[in-house]
């Protein structure tokens, strides 16, 4: 096959060989994934939903704190209060209220979001370990 058959003539191109070379290069560059320890992928599969669930629960606790008249022992609210209260109680001794407002849910939300990004984000430690074996 000839490409660019203008005044100066064309260039012979073997399309099959070119496509084969391009596919080989594409497959070799996408095969950057390396073998990693057996604990990394299961840990990331468990840690990701855990951190996301608790981040969402802390966000719900922040919104729930805007409504002081809401009874935390009633069913829709107790689903969020029950798993988060031990963590909040632990942090309330260390984090003082700011301007009379309990900011421990905000602190925990920041910690869970930070841990999620550092460990499982696009450039996270576990993500890099799974991709490149670092």
Report pTM: 0.69
Residue/partner pairs of 39-43 with CB below 8 Å, 24 or more apart:
40/126, 40/129, 40/130, 41/130, 43/126
Q: Is 122 exposed, middle or buried (0-12, 13-18, 19+ CB in 10 A)?
A: exposed
Give tens-digit pLDDT for 9-63: 555 555 565 555 555 554 544 445 557 788 889 999 999 999 999 999 999 999 9
pLDDT recorded at residue 10:
53
pLDDT the model gives residue 70: 86
């Amino acid at each position: 096959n000839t490409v660019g058959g203008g005044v100066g003539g064309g260039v012979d191109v073997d399309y099959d060989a070119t496509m084969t070379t391009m596919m080989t290069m594409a497959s070799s560059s996408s095969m950057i994934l390396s073998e990693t320890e057996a604990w990394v992928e299961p840990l990331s599969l468990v840690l990701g939903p855990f951190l996301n669930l608790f981040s969402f629960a802390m966000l719900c606790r922040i919104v729930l704190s805007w409504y002081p008249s809401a009874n935390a022992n009633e069913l829709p609210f107790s689903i969020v209060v029950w798993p988060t209260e031990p963590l909040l109680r632990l942090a309330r001794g260390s984090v003082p209220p700011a301007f009379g407002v309990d900011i421990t849910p905000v602190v925990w939300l920041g910690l869970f979001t930070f841990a999620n990004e550092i460990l499982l984000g696009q450039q996270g430690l576990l993500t890099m370990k799974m991709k490149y074996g670092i």
